[in-house]
Structure 1
Amino acid sequence: MRRSGDHRYRSAGRVRLAAVLALSMLAVLLLNACSNNESSVFHTGSEETALDNVSRVPWDYRIVESTVGDLIGSDMTISPDNELMPNDENYATGDKVWALQYMDAELTTDANERSNVQLSAWSTIKTFKTQADAKNDMANLKVPVTTEVDLVGVYKTQYKDQTRNFAVLELPSGNRIKQPIDDKRYTELEKKKKVSVQLEEIHDFADYDSAYAKFRGWAG
Protein backbone atom coordinates (compact mmCIF):
# COMPACT_ATOMS: atom_id res chain seq x y z
CA MET A 1 0.00 0.00 0.00
CA ARG A 2 2.83 2.33 0.82
CA ARG A 3 4.49 1.76 -2.55
CA SER A 4 1.23 2.38 -4.41
CA GLY A 5 0.73 5.68 -2.53
CA ASP A 6 4.31 6.75 -3.32
CA HIS A 7 3.71 5.97 -6.98
CA ARG A 8 0.52 8.09 -7.09
CA TYR A 9 2.36 10.95 -5.30
CA ARG A 10 5.23 10.91 -7.82
CA SER A 11 2.76 10.81 -10.74
CA ALA A 12 0.82 13.79 -9.39
CA GLY A 13 4.06 15.69 -8.87
CA ARG A 14 5.13 15.13 -12.45
CA VAL A 15 1.73 16.35 -13.69
CA ARG A 16 1.98 19.52 -11.59
CA LEU A 17 5.55 20.14 -12.82
CA ALA A 18 4.48 19.75 -16.45
CA ALA A 19 1.60 22.15 -15.91
CA VAL A 20 3.88 24.76 -14.35
CA LEU A 21 6.35 24.47 -17.23
CA ALA A 22 3.56 24.82 -19.80
CA LEU A 23 2.18 27.93 -18.09
CA SER A 24 5.67 29.43 -17.93
CA MET A 25 6.25 28.85 -21.64
CA LEU A 26 2.84 30.40 -22.43
CA ALA A 27 3.68 33.50 -20.36
CA VAL A 28 7.00 33.92 -22.20
CA LEU A 29 5.26 33.66 -25.56
CA LEU A 30 2.66 36.24 -24.56
CA LEU A 31 5.33 38.67 -23.34
CA ASN A 32 7.26 38.30 -26.58
CA ALA A 33 4.11 38.92 -28.61
CA CYS A 34 3.37 42.09 -26.65
CA SER A 35 6.93 43.28 -27.10
CA ASN A 36 6.85 42.65 -30.85
CA ASN A 37 3.53 44.46 -31.28
CA GLU A 38 4.30 47.45 -29.06
CA SER A 39 5.26 49.77 -31.91
CA SER A 40 2.18 48.85 -33.93
CA VAL A 41 -0.11 49.51 -30.97
CA PHE A 42 1.30 52.89 -29.95
CA HIS A 43 2.90 54.19 -33.17
CA THR A 44 1.35 53.33 -36.50
CA GLY A 45 3.28 53.86 -39.70
CA SER A 46 0.61 56.18 -41.10
CA GLU A 47 0.87 58.46 -38.04
CA GLU A 48 4.65 58.73 -38.38
CA THR A 49 4.34 59.49 -42.10
CA ALA A 50 1.75 62.19 -41.41
CA LEU A 51 3.98 63.83 -38.81
CA ASP A 52 6.88 63.89 -41.25
CA ASN A 53 4.72 65.81 -43.77
CA VAL A 54 3.53 68.54 -41.39
CA SER A 55 5.57 71.63 -40.55
CA ARG A 56 4.87 74.98 -38.91
CA VAL A 57 6.27 78.00 -40.73
CA PRO A 58 6.21 81.80 -40.28
CA TRP A 59 3.55 83.17 -42.64
CA ASP A 60 3.07 86.94 -42.34
CA TYR A 61 3.36 90.16 -40.31
CA ARG A 62 1.24 93.28 -40.21
CA ILE A 63 1.10 96.60 -38.34
CA VAL A 64 -2.11 97.62 -36.58
CA GLU A 65 -2.92 100.92 -34.86
CA SER A 66 -4.10 100.15 -31.32
CA THR A 67 -5.12 101.83 -28.08
CA VAL A 68 -3.82 101.09 -24.61
CA GLY A 69 -6.56 99.89 -22.27
CA ASP A 70 -6.21 98.71 -18.67
CA LEU A 71 -2.86 98.77 -16.89
CA ILE A 72 -2.24 95.57 -14.93
CA GLY A 73 0.97 95.74 -12.92
CA SER A 74 3.80 96.02 -15.44
CA ASP A 75 1.49 94.87 -18.27
CA MET A 76 -1.24 96.51 -20.35
CA THR A 77 -4.15 95.51 -22.53
CA ILE A 78 -4.42 96.84 -26.06
CA SER A 79 -7.46 97.06 -28.30
CA PRO A 80 -9.09 95.96 -30.53
CA ASP A 81 -8.35 92.38 -29.38
CA ASN A 82 -7.79 93.19 -25.69
CA GLU A 83 -4.43 91.37 -25.72
CA LEU A 84 -2.17 91.52 -22.66
CA MET A 85 1.29 92.89 -23.43
CA PRO A 86 4.32 94.07 -21.41
CA ASN A 87 4.17 97.84 -20.84
CA ASP A 88 7.87 98.38 -21.50
CA GLU A 89 7.40 102.00 -22.65
CA ASN A 90 5.29 103.07 -19.64
CA TYR A 91 2.22 103.84 -21.74
CA ALA A 92 -0.87 105.35 -20.12
CA THR A 93 -4.45 104.26 -20.66
CA GLY A 94 -5.78 105.78 -23.90
CA ASP A 95 -2.35 106.15 -25.56
CA LYS A 96 -2.14 105.27 -29.25
CA VAL A 97 0.43 102.59 -30.13
CA TRP A 98 1.40 100.62 -33.22
CA ALA A 99 1.27 96.85 -32.77
CA LEU A 100 3.36 94.40 -34.78
CA GLN A 101 1.31 91.26 -35.29
CA TYR A 102 2.42 87.80 -36.39
CA MET A 103 0.73 84.87 -38.12
CA ASP A 104 2.14 81.39 -38.65
CA ALA A 105 0.85 78.44 -40.66
CA GLU A 106 0.65 74.68 -40.45
CA LEU A 107 1.82 73.38 -43.81
CA THR A 108 0.82 69.84 -44.82
CA THR A 109 2.38 68.29 -47.92
CA ASP A 110 0.80 65.19 -49.47
CA ALA A 111 2.43 62.38 -51.47
CA ASN A 112 2.06 64.42 -54.68
CA GLU A 113 3.90 67.37 -53.05
CA ARG A 114 0.77 69.49 -53.02
CA SER A 115 0.47 71.77 -50.01
CA ASN A 116 -2.45 72.52 -47.73
CA VAL A 117 -2.15 75.62 -45.52
CA GLN A 118 -3.90 76.14 -42.18
CA LEU A 119 -3.39 79.70 -40.91
CA SER A 120 -3.26 80.74 -37.26
CA ALA A 121 -4.96 83.80 -35.77
CA TRP A 122 -3.05 87.09 -35.63
CA SER A 123 -1.18 87.68 -32.36
CA THR A 124 0.63 90.82 -31.17
CA ILE A 125 4.32 90.39 -30.42
CA LYS A 126 5.55 93.97 -29.94
CA THR A 127 4.33 97.57 -29.67
CA PHE A 128 5.86 100.82 -30.91
CA LYS A 129 5.29 104.51 -30.29
CA THR A 130 5.40 105.37 -34.00
CA GLN A 131 4.37 103.66 -37.21
CA ALA A 132 7.82 104.33 -38.69
CA ASP A 133 9.51 102.35 -35.91
CA ALA A 134 7.11 99.47 -36.45
CA LYS A 135 7.77 99.45 -40.21
CA ASN A 136 11.54 99.46 -39.68
CA ASP A 137 11.27 96.42 -37.43
CA MET A 138 8.96 94.57 -39.82
CA ALA A 139 11.32 95.24 -42.74
CA ASN A 140 13.86 92.93 -41.08
CA LEU A 141 11.27 90.14 -40.86
CA LYS A 142 9.70 90.42 -44.35
CA VAL A 143 12.59 90.54 -46.82
CA PRO A 144 12.08 90.82 -50.63
CA VAL A 145 14.40 88.58 -52.67
CA THR A 146 14.95 88.09 -56.41
CA THR A 147 16.35 84.65 -57.21
CA GLU A 148 16.19 81.64 -59.52
CA VAL A 149 14.06 78.64 -58.63
CA ASP A 150 13.44 75.27 -60.23
CA LEU A 151 10.68 75.16 -62.82
CA VAL A 152 9.00 71.76 -62.50
CA GLY A 153 7.02 72.34 -65.69
CA VAL A 154 4.09 74.04 -67.40
CA TYR A 155 0.76 72.57 -68.41
CA LYS A 156 -2.64 73.47 -69.88
CA THR A 157 -6.16 72.67 -68.75
CA GLN A 158 -9.23 72.98 -70.94
CA TYR A 159 -12.90 73.26 -70.00
CA LYS A 160 -15.38 73.67 -72.84
CA ASP A 161 -13.94 76.52 -74.92
CA GLN A 162 -11.62 77.95 -72.23
CA THR A 163 -7.95 77.08 -71.85
CA ARG A 164 -5.86 77.93 -68.77
CA ASN A 165 -2.08 77.73 -68.39
CA PHE A 166 -0.12 76.99 -65.22
CA ALA A 167 3.52 76.88 -64.16
CA VAL A 168 4.68 74.66 -61.29
CA LEU A 169 7.60 76.04 -59.26
CA GLU A 170 9.68 74.53 -56.48
CA LEU A 171 10.52 77.17 -53.88
CA PRO A 172 13.66 77.19 -51.69
CA SER A 173 11.53 75.84 -48.82
CA GLY A 174 11.02 72.65 -50.85
CA ASN A 175 7.28 72.97 -51.41
CA ARG A 176 5.77 73.27 -54.85
CA ILE A 177 3.26 75.87 -55.99
CA LYS A 178 1.36 76.44 -59.22
CA GLN A 179 0.86 79.86 -60.75
CA PRO A 180 -1.51 80.84 -63.57
CA ILE A 181 0.30 82.21 -66.63
CA ASP A 182 -0.74 83.63 -69.98
CA ASP A 183 0.03 82.16 -73.40
CA LYS A 184 3.11 84.32 -73.90
CA ARG A 185 4.74 83.23 -70.63
CA TYR A 186 3.75 79.63 -71.30
CA THR A 187 5.77 79.72 -74.53
CA GLU A 188 8.71 81.40 -72.73
CA LEU A 189 8.81 78.81 -69.94
CA GLU A 190 7.91 75.69 -71.90
CA LYS A 191 11.51 74.46 -72.28
CA LYS A 192 13.14 76.09 -69.24
CA LYS A 193 14.41 74.33 -66.10
CA LYS A 194 15.07 77.48 -64.04
CA VAL A 195 13.16 80.73 -63.81
CA SER A 196 13.80 84.08 -62.11
CA VAL A 197 11.14 85.10 -59.56
CA GLN A 198 10.45 87.60 -56.82
CA LEU A 199 10.05 86.07 -53.37
CA GLU A 200 9.32 87.38 -49.92
CA GLU A 201 11.19 85.67 -47.11
CA ILE A 202 9.13 85.61 -43.91
CA HIS A 203 11.45 85.15 -40.93
CA ASP A 204 10.41 83.83 -37.54
CA PHE A 205 10.80 86.65 -35.00
CA ALA A 206 11.89 84.14 -32.30
CA ASP A 207 14.29 82.22 -34.58
CA TYR A 208 15.49 84.38 -37.47
CA ASP A 209 17.17 81.45 -39.27
CA SER A 210 13.74 79.84 -39.65
CA ALA A 211 12.13 81.39 -42.74
CA TYR A 212 9.49 80.64 -45.36
CA ALA A 213 9.65 81.94 -48.94
CA LYS A 214 6.43 83.16 -50.57
CA PHE A 215 6.00 83.77 -54.30
CA ARG A 216 5.42 87.45 -55.09
CA GLY A 217 5.81 87.62 -58.89
CA TRP A 218 7.98 87.03 -61.92
CA ALA A 219 11.30 88.80 -62.25
CA GLY A 220 12.29 90.44 -65.51
Structure 2
Amino acid sequence: MARNRNRENRSPRTPWRLAAGLILTMLAMLLLNACSDNESSVFHTNSSSEEALDNVARVPWDYRIVESSVGDLIGSDMTILPDNELIPNDENYATGDKIWALQYMDAEMTTDTNQRNNVQLSAWSTIKTFKTQADAKKDMANLKVPVTTEIDLVGVYKTQYQDKTRNFAVLELPSGNRIKQPIDDDRYKSLEKKKKVSVKLEEIHDFADYDSAYAKFRGWAS
Protein backbone atom coordinates (compact mmCIF):
# COMPACT_ATOMS: atom_id res chain seq x y z
CA MET A 1 0.00 0.00 0.00
CA ALA A 2 2.81 2.40 0.86
CA ARG A 3 4.50 1.71 -2.46
CA ASN A 4 1.26 2.43 -4.30
CA ARG A 5 0.86 5.73 -2.47
CA ASN A 6 4.41 6.72 -3.43
CA ARG A 7 3.72 5.99 -7.10
CA GLU A 8 0.52 8.01 -6.92
CA ASN A 9 2.42 10.93 -5.35
CA ARG A 10 5.16 10.90 -8.03
CA SER A 11 3.03 10.40 -11.13
CA PRO A 12 1.40 13.90 -11.23
CA ARG A 13 4.83 15.58 -11.31
CA THR A 14 5.97 13.82 -14.50
CA PRO A 15 3.80 15.83 -16.95
CA TRP A 16 4.84 19.07 -15.26
CA ARG A 17 8.51 18.23 -15.65
CA LEU A 18 8.01 17.40 -19.32
CA ALA A 19 6.22 20.71 -19.89
CA ALA A 20 8.96 22.65 -18.10
CA GLY A 21 11.59 20.90 -20.21
CA LEU A 22 9.77 21.80 -23.41
CA ILE A 23 9.47 25.45 -22.32
CA LEU A 24 13.20 25.63 -21.52
CA THR A 25 14.06 24.07 -24.89
CA MET A 26 11.90 26.60 -26.73
CA LEU A 27 13.49 29.49 -24.82
CA ALA A 28 16.95 28.20 -25.69
CA MET A 29 16.03 28.04 -29.39
CA LEU A 30 14.67 31.59 -29.30
CA LEU A 31 17.87 32.84 -27.68
CA LEU A 32 19.98 31.09 -30.32
CA ASN A 33 17.90 32.64 -33.11
CA ALA A 34 18.29 36.08 -31.53
CA CYS A 35 22.06 35.65 -31.37
CA SER A 36 22.10 34.54 -35.00
CA ASP A 37 20.11 37.63 -36.02
CA ASN A 38 22.53 39.88 -34.14
CA GLU A 39 25.54 38.32 -35.82
CA SER A 40 23.98 38.84 -39.23
CA SER A 41 23.37 42.50 -38.40
CA VAL A 42 26.94 42.99 -37.17
CA PHE A 43 28.46 41.45 -40.28
CA HIS A 44 26.27 43.63 -42.48
CA THR A 45 27.49 46.72 -40.64
CA ASN A 46 31.11 45.70 -41.02
CA SER A 47 30.62 45.13 -44.72
CA SER A 48 29.20 48.61 -45.15
CA SER A 49 32.10 50.10 -43.19
CA GLU A 50 34.60 48.31 -45.39
CA GLU A 51 32.85 49.56 -48.53
CA ALA A 52 32.96 53.11 -47.18
CA LEU A 53 36.68 52.78 -46.37
CA ASP A 54 37.37 51.49 -49.88
CA ASN A 55 36.10 54.84 -51.23
CA VAL A 56 38.70 56.85 -49.31
CA ALA A 57 42.14 57.37 -50.87
CA ARG A 58 45.16 59.53 -50.09
CA VAL A 59 46.72 60.99 -53.24
CA PRO A 60 49.62 63.37 -53.99
CA TRP A 61 48.08 66.79 -54.63
CA ASP A 62 50.70 69.46 -55.30
CA TYR A 63 54.30 70.67 -54.93
CA ARG A 64 55.77 74.13 -54.59
CA ILE A 65 59.16 75.82 -54.13
CA VAL A 66 59.58 78.47 -51.43
CA GLU A 67 62.53 80.68 -50.56
CA SER A 68 63.64 80.15 -46.96
CA SER A 69 66.56 80.53 -44.61
CA VAL A 70 68.16 78.28 -42.02
CA GLY A 71 67.29 78.93 -38.38
CA ASP A 72 68.59 77.00 -35.41
CA LEU A 73 70.84 73.96 -35.78
CA ILE A 74 69.75 71.11 -33.51
CA GLY A 75 72.14 68.16 -33.68
CA SER A 76 72.01 66.86 -37.25
CA ASP A 77 68.74 68.73 -37.89
CA MET A 78 67.86 72.35 -38.64
CA THR A 79 64.85 74.61 -38.51
CA ILE A 80 63.60 76.46 -41.59
CA LEU A 81 62.35 80.01 -41.21
CA PRO A 82 59.80 81.50 -41.01
CA ASP A 83 57.77 78.45 -39.88
CA ASN A 84 60.51 76.81 -37.75
CA GLU A 85 59.88 73.46 -39.44
CA LEU A 86 62.45 70.89 -38.28
CA ILE A 87 64.11 68.78 -40.99
CA PRO A 88 67.47 66.96 -41.44
CA ASN A 89 70.44 69.18 -42.30
CA ASP A 90 71.72 66.92 -45.09
CA GLU A 91 73.70 69.68 -46.85
CA ASN A 92 75.50 70.95 -43.71
CA TYR A 93 73.93 74.41 -43.90
CA ALA A 94 74.85 77.12 -41.42
CA THR A 95 72.44 79.36 -39.54
CA GLY A 96 71.31 82.20 -41.79
CA ASP A 97 72.02 80.42 -45.09
CA LYS A 98 69.54 81.15 -47.88
CA ILE A 99 67.93 77.95 -49.22
CA TRP A 100 65.09 76.80 -51.49
CA ALA A 101 62.64 74.32 -50.02
CA LEU A 102 60.56 71.83 -52.00
CA GLN A 103 57.23 71.38 -50.25
CA TYR A 104 54.37 68.98 -50.88
CA MET A 105 50.68 68.70 -50.11
CA ASP A 106 48.58 65.54 -50.25
CA ALA A 107 44.83 65.04 -50.16
CA GLU A 108 42.35 62.64 -48.61
CA MET A 109 39.76 62.03 -51.30
CA THR A 110 36.37 60.47 -50.59
CA THR A 111 34.35 59.30 -53.60
CA ASP A 112 30.61 58.67 -53.23
CA THR A 113 28.44 56.28 -55.24
CA ASN A 114 27.85 58.99 -57.86
CA GLN A 115 31.62 59.41 -58.42
CA ARG A 116 31.59 62.84 -56.78
CA ASN A 117 34.68 63.78 -54.78
CA ASN A 118 35.12 65.36 -51.38
CA VAL A 119 38.71 66.55 -50.94
CA GLN A 120 40.48 67.34 -47.65
CA LEU A 121 43.91 68.94 -48.20
CA SER A 122 46.86 68.55 -45.85
CA ALA A 123 49.19 71.34 -44.74
CA TRP A 124 52.36 72.06 -46.72
CA SER A 125 55.41 70.07 -45.58
CA THR A 126 59.06 70.38 -46.61
CA ILE A 127 60.60 67.26 -48.10
CA LYS A 128 63.90 68.55 -49.50
CA THR A 129 66.11 71.65 -49.61
CA PHE A 130 68.36 73.04 -52.34
CA LYS A 131 71.11 75.63 -52.57
CA THR A 132 69.72 77.12 -55.79
CA GLN A 133 66.23 77.69 -57.17
CA ALA A 134 67.25 76.08 -60.49
CA ASP A 135 68.07 72.79 -58.75
CA ALA A 136 64.74 72.87 -56.92
CA LYS A 137 62.80 73.46 -60.16
CA LYS A 138 64.66 70.65 -61.90
CA ASP A 139 63.68 68.22 -59.14
CA MET A 140 60.05 69.37 -59.06
CA ALA A 141 59.76 68.94 -62.85
CA ASN A 142 60.04 65.19 -62.31
CA LEU A 143 57.14 65.23 -59.83
CA LYS A 144 54.71 67.50 -61.73
CA VAL A 145 54.55 66.20 -65.30
CA PRO A 146 52.35 67.80 -68.04
CA VAL A 147 50.59 65.26 -70.27
CA THR A 148 48.30 65.56 -73.30
CA THR A 149 46.02 62.55 -73.71
CA GLU A 150 42.53 61.31 -74.49
CA ILE A 151 40.13 60.55 -71.65
CA ASP A 152 36.52 59.39 -71.41
CA LEU A 153 33.78 61.98 -71.80
CA VAL A 154 30.89 60.92 -69.59
CA GLY A 155 28.59 63.50 -71.15
CA VAL A 156 27.50 67.13 -71.38
CA TYR A 157 24.45 68.82 -69.92
CA LYS A 158 22.77 72.20 -69.45
CA THR A 159 21.38 73.91 -66.38
CA GLN A 160 19.03 76.88 -66.31
CA TYR A 161 18.45 79.40 -63.53
CA GLN A 162 16.62 82.74 -63.81
CA ASP A 163 16.73 82.68 -67.63
CA LYS A 164 20.49 81.98 -67.60
CA THR A 165 21.83 78.77 -69.14
CA ARG A 166 25.14 77.14 -68.23
CA ASN A 167 26.85 74.19 -69.94
CA PHE A 168 29.00 71.51 -68.29
CA ALA A 169 31.10 68.56 -69.40
CA VAL A 170 31.68 65.58 -67.11
CA LEU A 171 35.09 63.92 -67.61
CA GLU A 172 36.53 60.71 -66.19
CA LEU A 173 40.19 61.02 -65.19
CA PRO A 174 42.66 58.13 -65.50
CA SER A 175 42.31 57.62 -61.73
CA GLY A 176 38.59 56.84 -62.21
CA ASN A 177 37.44 60.06 -60.55
CA ARG A 178 34.95 62.24 -62.38
CA ILE A 179 35.17 66.02 -62.66
CA LYS A 180 32.78 68.67 -63.96
CA GLN A 181 34.04 71.50 -66.16
CA PRO A 182 32.05 74.54 -67.40
CA ILE A 183 32.03 74.90 -71.21
CA ASP A 184 30.68 77.43 -73.70
CA ASP A 185 27.99 76.83 -76.33
CA ASP A 186 30.47 76.04 -79.11
CA ARG A 187 32.28 73.39 -77.08
CA TYR A 188 28.95 71.96 -75.93
CA LYS A 189 27.96 71.38 -79.57
CA SER A 190 31.35 69.87 -80.47
CA LEU A 191 31.31 67.48 -77.47
CA GLU A 192 27.63 66.58 -77.54
CA LYS A 193 28.10 63.26 -79.42
CA LYS A 194 31.69 62.41 -78.44
CA LYS A 195 32.82 59.58 -76.19
CA LYS A 196 36.50 60.62 -75.95
CA VAL A 197 38.10 64.04 -75.65
CA SER A 198 41.69 65.32 -75.86
CA VAL A 199 42.79 67.21 -72.74
CA LYS A 200 45.84 68.55 -70.93
CA LEU A 201 46.58 66.89 -67.60
CA GLU A 202 49.19 67.38 -64.92
CA GLU A 203 50.37 64.17 -63.28
CA ILE A 204 51.30 64.70 -59.64
CA HIS A 205 53.64 61.88 -58.59
CA ASP A 206 54.25 60.73 -55.02
CA PHE A 207 57.87 61.57 -54.14
CA ALA A 208 58.11 58.41 -51.99
CA ASP A 209 56.40 56.12 -54.55
CA TYR A 210 56.76 57.52 -58.06
CA ASP A 211 54.36 54.98 -59.60
CA SER A 212 51.59 56.43 -57.42
CA ALA A 213 50.21 59.52 -59.17
CA TYR A 214 47.09 61.66 -59.44
CA ALA A 215 46.09 63.43 -62.66
CA LYS A 216 44.66 66.96 -62.60
CA PHE A 217 42.71 68.57 -65.43
CA ARG A 218 44.63 71.55 -66.82
CA GLY A 219 42.66 72.43 -69.97
CA TRP A 220 41.42 71.34 -73.37
CA ALA A 221 43.95 70.17 -75.92
CA SER A 222 41.80 71.23 -78.87
TM range (shorter): 0.7 to 0.9
Q: Post-superposition shift, 1:53?
A: 1.2
State the TM-score, normalized to the length of structure 1.
0.85
Matches of 1:219 and 1:166, distance apart in 2: 17
1:37 is aligned to 2:5: no
Report the counterpart of residue 90 of structure 2 in structure 1. Answer: 88
State the TM-score, normalized to the length of structure 2.
0.84
Q: Post-superposition shift, 1:4?
A: 8.6
Report the counterpart of residue 164 of structure 2 in structure 1. Answer: 162
Matches of 1:106 and 1:76, distance apart in 2: 29
Matches of 1:219 and 1:174, distance apart in 2: 20
Q: Secondary structure at the match of 2:175?
A: coil
Report which stretch shifted further, 41-50 or 107-116.
41-50
Q: Post-superposition shift, 1:46?
A: 3.3
Report the counterpart of residue 143 of structure 1 in structure 2. Answer: 145
Q: Post-superposition shift, 1:29?
A: 7.5
- Of residues 105, 124, 128, the one that matches 2:126 is 124
Matches within 5 A, 1:15-30: none
Structure 2 CA distance for partners of 1:35 and 1:73, relative to 1, 3 Å: farther
Matches of 2:25 and 2:98, distance apart in 1: 77
Matches of 2:183 and 2:195, distance apart in 1: 16
Matches of 2:165 and 2:128, distance apart in 1: 47
Structure 2 CA distance for partners of 1:25 and 1:197, relative to 1, 3 Å: same
Q: Post-superposition shift, 1:134?
A: 0.7
Report the counterpart of residue 101 of structure 1 in structure 2. Answer: 103
**Runs of 4+ more than 6 Å apart:** 1-5, 22-29
Matches of 2:3 and 2:67, distance apart in 1: 105
Which amino acid counterpart does residue 209 of structure 2 have in structure 1?
D
Matches of 1:216 and 1:91, distance apart in 2: 37
Structure 2 CA distance for partners of 1:91 and 1:190, relative to 1, 3 Å: same
Q: Secondary structure at the match of 1:138?
A: helix
Structure 2 CA distance for partners of 1:168 and 1:90, relative to 1, 3 Å: same
Structure 2 gaps, min length 5: none
Matches of 1:2 and 1:133, distance apart in 2: 111
Report the counterpart of residue 193 of structure 2 in structure 1. Answer: 191
Report the counterpart of residue 55 of structure 1 in structure 2. Answer: 57
Determine what percentage of the aligned residue pairs are the same residue: 84
